[in-house]
Structure 1
Amino acid sequence: MFPSGQVFCAGANHREHTVEMSLVLLRGDPEETRPDAELVEEATAIADRVEAGDPYVFLGLPSALAGARDDVVLWGPGVQHDWEVEVAVVIGRTAHRVAPERALDHVAGYTICNDVSTRDLMVRPGFALSDFLMAKNRPTFFPIGPYLVPRRFVPDHRGLRMRLEVNGEVMQDGRVGDLVHGVEELVSYLSHATVLSPGDVVLTGTPAGNAGARGGRRLRPGDVVEATVTGLGHQRTLCVADPTAAGR
């Protein structure tokens, strides 16, 4: 695993993923009584609003990074552990207030990351804000790698295909070209919020196919998660139980 500084995560950056997750939330509301067609319409409207706005980015913790062959610990509290394969962009040159058309000049290369997320901790009942610290940033929740492929060896990052399997079953299959806000826009946007430095990592967003769309199939101890991206290698991690759970 390579050293990292700041970690940035783009959320709701694939349209189908945004619609899918919005539907899961709408259907999960016990007070929601509208027919399914109206819920799909509302989820589509949410995706439209996301596309019309700026990128949505939250911070990750470098301490959550793990290797491409390391075990993923399914820490509690929370049991609804989910997967999110993403292409990660690694910054190679300091970037501050750069234009989108110059953003790729500051990219060192690309790698694979799985943004493991504990969905039942993401929203606190009666609290209007999301808890991404507990839901997404615990140790081993960002397995990354195995390779950092230099940008010059990736002539068209938009054509990269992301694929994630759990125990050999395909869960996600998407392309970087389907990003709502592309790599250039994300790097430029972040460079206007802060100074990007070599080693910083930008997770660009995940395609559809999360657990909520798979009949509630969540990650469990013993699951093997395999993630691949065209030309970037193959990531294989084993999910293991929280070693402290027995002591609770």
Structure 2
Amino acid sequence: MKLASIDNKTRDGQLVVVNKELTRAVKVPEIAETMQTAIDNWIETESKLQSVYEDLNTNKLSNTFDFSSVRVLAPIPRAYHWADGSAYVTHVELVRKARNAELPESFWTDPLMYMGASDAFIGANDDIEIENEDWGIDFESEVAVITDDVPAGINSKDALNHIKLITIINDVSLRNLIPNELSKQFGFYQSKPWTTFAPVVVTPDELNGSWIDGKLHLPLDSTLNGKLIGSPNAGIDMTFNFGQLVAHASKTRSLMAGTVIGSGTVANQGSPNGSSCLAEVRCLEIIKDGKASTPFMSFEDRIEVEMKDKDGKSIFGKINQVVKEYKK
């Protein structure tokens, strides 16, 4: 099943069911007006939405519309909870190697995670508005999941059962603001502007065997200004699966329905398939040449992020954004 939220001039948008080809959609106000309402009542809404999805794909509905003709919001435009992990420890190891810093052994057994701003996620085609290019504008291509209610202290195996929806995201980072923030030993804030979501979220069964043990075993493509930066497989070198990430987030408190958990930057060891962010590209250059030669993003740069299935068809739709100067 594929779901999305479209612009209806409200903060939370209008929930729609989207067909497998991402070409047609239908509103479902009789089931749920918003994505949050649907996930809040997932036990009741899932089967009803699935039924609509099946009818949509077999052309049994007359009240459909062209999905490309509407403005798509983030599938869940604002969430009660957003936590981003760093599940690809080889990525962290590479970044530390570039600055001659050792990786603590605990990083391989205890996930890194921070709580991000979830008050306003942005849509796949929305501009990335940043005030200053000197802040080091970078994309981060990731996989993310949305849960239903998760009890505190759950184990990682049972946590997998609470993952109801999956998508991809661009977790924009302002690299030149990060060092000062982390030096305060209190985490990210100014260096993490709004996060971008792909047009649709899908249920695990939609992934045709590519969702295995809490990992999505498909390449994630990142293309900057028409140049493929990387296509690492999201299921390879993922040290912590999503069950472990959800369990980590819920160790001391329950998670509310609609909680979004990110994987962190997708990376394969040694980056044989390219990178999912410019920071990693620059780290590889530093290790090889002693300095970075690739700049961070500038105004008018275009970043595209997409994941295709084994038949080459887009699963979540494409993130397609342009960096724009934010003007007050």
TM-score strictly above 0.5? yes
For 2:222, the aligned partner's letter is: L
Distance 2:228 2:128 in 1: 19
Structure holding more helix per residue: 1
Check conservation: 1:100, 1:188, Cα contact below 8 A: yes
* Correspondent of 1:117 among 155, 173, 196: 173
- Secondary structure of the structure 1 residue equivalent to 2:168: strand
Taking a change above 3 Å as real, the CA distance of residues 75 and 132 of structure 1, as seen in their structure-2 partners, is: farther
What's the C-alpha RMSD, in Å, of the aligned pairs? Answer: 2.2
1:189-215, CA deviations, whole angstroms, 9 ceiling, x for partnerless residues?
112132112211001111342323243
Q: Which residue of 2 aligns with 1:15?
A: 89
* Correspondent of 1:142 among 195, 219, 232: 195
* Correspondent of 1:197 among 256, 266, 271: 256
Distance 1:72 1:185 in 2: 31
- Secondary structure of the structure 2 residue equivalent to 1:194: coil
Q: Which runs of 5+ in 1 are unaligned?
A: 27-38
Distance 1:193 1:145 in 2: 30
Q: Which residue of 2 aligns with 1:163?
A: 221
* Correspondent of 1:46 among 103, 107, 111: 103
Taking a change above 3 Å as real, the CA distance of residues 94 and 131 of structure 1, as seen in their structure-2 partners, is: closer
Q: Which residue of 2 aligns with 1:152?
A: 205
Q: Which runs of 5+ in 2 are unaligned?
A: 1-73, 268-274, 283-292, 309-314
* Correspondent of 2:234 among 147, 152, 176: 176
Quote how far apart the aligned CAs of 1:153 are.
Answer: 1.4
Quote how far apart the aligned CAs of 1:112 are.
Answer: 1.1
Quote how far apart the aligned CAs of 1:176 are.
Answer: 2.5
Check conservation: 1:82, 1:219, Cα contact below 8 A: yes
For 1:241, the aligned partner's letter is: E
- Secondary structure of the structure 2 residue equivalent to 1:86: strand
TM-score between the two structures when normalised by the length of structure 2: 0.62
Quote how far apart the aligned CAs of 1:126 are.
Answer: 10
1:61-85, CA deviations, whole angstroms, 9 ceiling, x for partnerless residues?
1135100111111234852111110
Quote how far apart the aligned CAs of 1:9 are.
Answer: 0.5
Bigger Cα displacement from structure 2, 92-101 vs 180-189: 92-101
For 1:2, the aligned partner's letter is: P
* Correspondent of 1:211 among 268, 272, 278: 278
For 1:59, the aligned partner's letter is: M
- Secondary structure of the structure 2 residue equivalent to 1:132: coil
Q: Which residue of 2 aligns with 1:61?
A: 117
Structure holding more strand per residue: 1
Give % identity: 22
Q: How does 1:27-46 map to 2 (within 5 A)?
A: 39=100, 45-46=102-103
Distance 1:126 1:145 in 2: 28
Q: Which runs of 4+ in 1 moved over 6 A?
A: none
* Correspondent of 2:299 among 221, 226, 233: 221
1:203-245, CA deviations, whole angstroms, 9 ceiling, x for partnerless residues?
111134232324332111111110012323211111101213x
TM-score between the two structures when normalised by the length of structure 1: 0.81
For 1:226, the aligned partner's letter is: E
Q: Which residue of 1 aligns with 2:140?
A: 84
Quote how far apart the aligned CAs of 1:184 are.
Answer: 1.1
Quote how far apart the aligned CAs of 1:14 are.
Answer: 1.4
Distance 1:95 1:172 in 2: 37
Which structure carries more relative contact order (alpha carbon 8 Å, separation 6+)?
1
Bigger Cα displacement from structure 2, 63-72 vs 125-134: 125-134
